[in-house]
Structure 1
Amino acid sequence: MVDSNLLLAGHVLIILSGIFIAFSNNFLSTQRERLLAGLSLVLLGGFTVSTHTWWFHNKYHELGGNIGCSAFGSFSCGDVLANSDWNTVPVLGLPWGLMGMFAFALLGFLALSVRKDHNAKWVKTYLDIGYVASGFGILIALYLLYVEIIPLEMTFCQYCSVAHLADIVAFVMFMKLRKLQGTDQWDLVASQAAKDVKAKDIKRSQRKKNSGFVKPTTRDEEE
């Protein structure tokens, strides 16, 4: 059986790959493409690690006892994920891992949609939703951190921490995309095409002026 912390390293690697692509100039041709590609990987890593926490939660409730979630130092995901009092969403009663899956799936849909059609009318709305939703996720992460520090007495879940990291990184990327959208850097090809058209119009107007072109006047203007 593969050690759970090796599997955790796989989730972390996906997220780090997304960060590297998003903030490196060695991949893709534009900042928009790099941010969206990196964001997609970060959200994928957040989704997979959330799925893993949900799996641990279900495994404990089916089998009880050791759920194969390795512990080291203050990190013991088994003690956190097996705790029914704190590993469920208040009121809804759903495991936090399942909620994380839904959240990252939603954010992934938004990111992939924008990547597919970056000039659509709804792009700004999608980026705003992603920004607000991931920001709300940070508030949830702070609440869960409080739970780990106070009620659970400094017992931390390494899988949960990685999911929180993915959400924080996604928040930063959505923020950067919102600032980029609407500027010339969002679509360099379209921006350059618009500049070329404007330059041609200016040249055409200048040629008409230099050739003695006189704008026709209406009868009202003559009177």
Structure 2
Amino acid sequence: MSIQVMVASNEHIPFAETICEMMESSAKVRGTGIAKRDPAYIRRKMEEGKGVIALDGEAVVGFCYIESWDEQKYVANSGLIVHPDYRGTGLARQIKLQTFNLSKKMFPNAKLFGITTSLPVMKINSELGYKPVTFSELTKDEVFWKGCNSCVNVDILTRTNRSMCLCTAMVCDLSQTKPTEVDKPKAWNRFTDFVKSRRAAKSGILKNYNDDKK
């Protein structure tokens, strides 16, 4: 397996449709909801040099892109996707790391954040220096939150006044250095403790949500 991970450019535009199909298919399998992406938006990220793509020969097998809000004070590495046949190979980590480094190069003073339901993504984020936070510490930019409207769980987000959803929020200050190898286990332990403390609250919200739907 000879996979190349690189910054996406105009030459990769033909892969936009396939990338969106991979994202939608993954969301259906997981059943946890994900904001839909438009091929035109993915193409624009490639043109701007704000995407990282993984290719196995002539086939796209992974992708991630950068978004910014609040006059570039907040940045996110969004839409991380890996083809099912390549999961568990460390490819997601390679893509995430390259996207992280690209973000740090383009937005050195920004706060890098993300919301996700994926435990592997959370672990990678933790190792890169992300810390779990409440939704109130994320960008207030309406453009960002509008992206959640196509998620199947948007009603939960709305009912909680954007204070909580199935996703976990994480933030990393790009002006700070990444954790050392010694610090990584501690960061992950802090993260799991945070998730446990929030799980009970989320369970209560979901119970009320499901009761209301009956």
Structure with the bigger percentage of strand: 2
Q: TM-score, normalised by structure 2?
A: 0.32
